[in-house]
Amino acid sequence: MAELKSLGGEAYLALAPGYSPSAFAYGAVRGGGEGPRGSYPGGGGTDFHPGALGKSAESSGEQSGDEEDGFEAGEKGGAAFEREGKLKGGALGKKPKEQRSLRLSINARERRRMHDLNDALDGLRSVIPYAHSPSVRKLSKIATLLLAKNYILMQAQALEEMRRLVAYLNQGQTLSTPLPATLNPFGQSAVYPFGGAALPGCPEKCTAFTGAALCKHCNDKP
């Protein structure tokens, strides 16, 4: 296998200055019930190439249907199941066979749900600027979300800068004099997905990106 480059953990800490493991207050989300359930915007990422899902597709067998997809699911889940003996719940007053089949169907549903989630993440990866090259390791889930968030912020700010620029030009001004820094979309006020902090290993890591410079400490493109 080729050597894979990746964003170090510190890299996406830099993406989100406020990030820390504790920032993921899991409990805070629980029971919130915000937003409708039951459908994923985009219909489960059907527009993404499923082949991109390397590991999950391999390890789970990805049998199209829910039929009997329970225990080809591999040693991971299978082992867990074995360990548990028989569905430790037992709370459901059903016969073991029914019970098992119900469990299998629930597992399959959950697996599909997670695959849809991963498809959506792949879709997100495909539209945010980082190197989509075989030699570059796929962004982790958390890195994908943090980078996407910063990219959105960057786009929003770029749009705002452009609006100001248009307004400025509409006032009959010329560009013969330099724009004020706040009106210069390419000036110091530009926002970078990596925020203000230099990346560890900068500029090496920044050169892994194919889009515009992502770190203000190294504006050189590869």
Cis peptide before 203 (omega within 30 of 0): yes
How many positions of this chain bind DNA (CB under 7 A)? 58
* Contact between 194 and 214 (Cβ < 8 Å): yes
Question: Is residue 168 a contact residue for DNA (CB under 7 A)?
Answer: no
Nearer to DNA among residue 68 and residue 160 (C-beta): 68
Instruction: Give the shortest CB-193-to-DNA separation in angstroms.
Output: 17
With CB under 7 A as the contact rule, the residue among 19, 50, 52, 103 that binds DNA is 103
Instruction: Give the shortest CB-116-to-DNA separation in angstroms.
Output: 7
- For residue 158, give the nearest of 187, 128, 196, 191 by alpha carbon: 191
Contacts of 221 (CB under 8 A, 6+ apart): 207, 212, 213
Contacts of 182 (CB under 8 A, 6+ apart): 161, 164, 189
Please count the CA atoms within 13 angstroms of the CA of 47 that sit on its side-chain side: 8
Instruction: Give the shortest CB-64-to-DNA separation in angstroms.
Output: 13
Question: Is residue 87 a contact residue for DNA (CB under 7 A)?
Answer: yes
DSSP state of 5: B
Interface of this chain with DNA, residues 16 to 35, rule: CB under 7 A: 26-27, 29-31, 33
Question: Is residue 219 a contact residue for DNA (CB under 7 A)?
Answer: no
Instruction: Give the shortest CB-47-to-DNA separation in angstroms.
Output: 18
Q: What is the chain's Cα-based Rg? A: 23
* Contact between 190 and 179 (Cβ < 8 Å): no
- For residue 128, give the nearest of 155, 163, 162 by alpha carbon: 155
Q: Which stretch binds DNA (CB under 7 A): 84-92, 182-190, 199-207, 214-222?
A: 84-92
Q: Which stretch binds DNA (CB under 7 A): 104-112, 150-158, 168-176, 212-220?
A: 104-112
CA distance 76 to 61: 12
Instruction: Give the shortest CB-204-to-DNA separation in angstroms.
Output: 12
Question: Is residue 207 a contact residue for DNA (CB under 7 A)?
Answer: no
Interacting residues with DNA (CB under 7 A): 1, 3-4, 6, 9, 26-27, 29-31, 33, 36-40, 53, 55-56, 59-62, 70-71, 73-81, 83-84, 87-89, 91, 103, 105-111, 113-115, 118, 138-143
